[in-house]
């Protein structure tokens, strides 16, 4: 289950309450910074923009590919570990606006995680160290360390233990 805080709204759907939840100028600033970072080919500049301008926690040697879209409302709720790769055109959300409520949740991505292209990571999930998320996956629940997940709906392809067995078999067969 995703870990999100839920906030009820009365009357119009929650998107009509957006500027009660986040200041308009913050959204404009975040949008401009995220668009600049999406198109820059320089990883160090992207990480600097994310850390200094959006107040995200981004580990050393982490690489955000071209066109990664971050949450423009609450980027400070996104944490990415060191030496992680976020694939082309991936979207990372820390909020959801629904009809009768909106939800906010931290997104925590561990160290040495590989996230393939065109993934969507929903609010309130944690992706453990060394996990692999296949291209096109919608991450709607936590991913354990070392786990390989894929698809929509997301499913486990193999666990860290199964991966270690494969590595051991390959080493045995190659000797």
Residues of the chain under the 50 pLDDT cut: none
pLDDT for the residue 175: 64
| CATH code linked to domain 5-174 | 2.160.10.10
pLDDT for the residue 171: 67
Predicted confidence (pLDDT) per residue in 69-83, tens digit: 999 999 999 999 999
**Rounded CA gap, 162 and 172, in Å?**
15
pTM higher than 0.95, yes or no?
A: no
pLDDT for the residue 1: 72
């Amino acid at each position: 289950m995703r870990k999100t805080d839920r906030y009820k709204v009365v009357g119009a759907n929650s998107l009509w309450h957006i500027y009660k939840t986040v200041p308009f100028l913050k959204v404009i600033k975040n949008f401009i910074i995220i668009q600049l970072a999406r198109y820059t080919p320089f990883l160090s500049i992207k990480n600097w923009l994310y850390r200094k301008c959006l107040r995200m926690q981004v580990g050393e040697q982490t690489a955000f590919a071209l066109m990664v879209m971050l949450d423009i409302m609450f980027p400070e709720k996104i944490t990415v570990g060191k030496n992680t790769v976020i694939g082309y055109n991936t979207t990372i959300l820390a909020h959801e606006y629904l009809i009768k409520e909106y939800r906010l949740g931290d997104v925590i991505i561990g160290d040495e995680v590989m996230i393939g292209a065109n993934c969507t990571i929903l609010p309130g999930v944690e992706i453990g160290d060394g996990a692999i998320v296949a291209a096109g996956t919608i991450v709607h629940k936590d991913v354990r360390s070392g786990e390989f997940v894929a698809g929509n709906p997301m499913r486990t392809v193999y666990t860290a233990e199964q991966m270690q067995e494969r590595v051991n078999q390959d080493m045995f067969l190659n000797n």
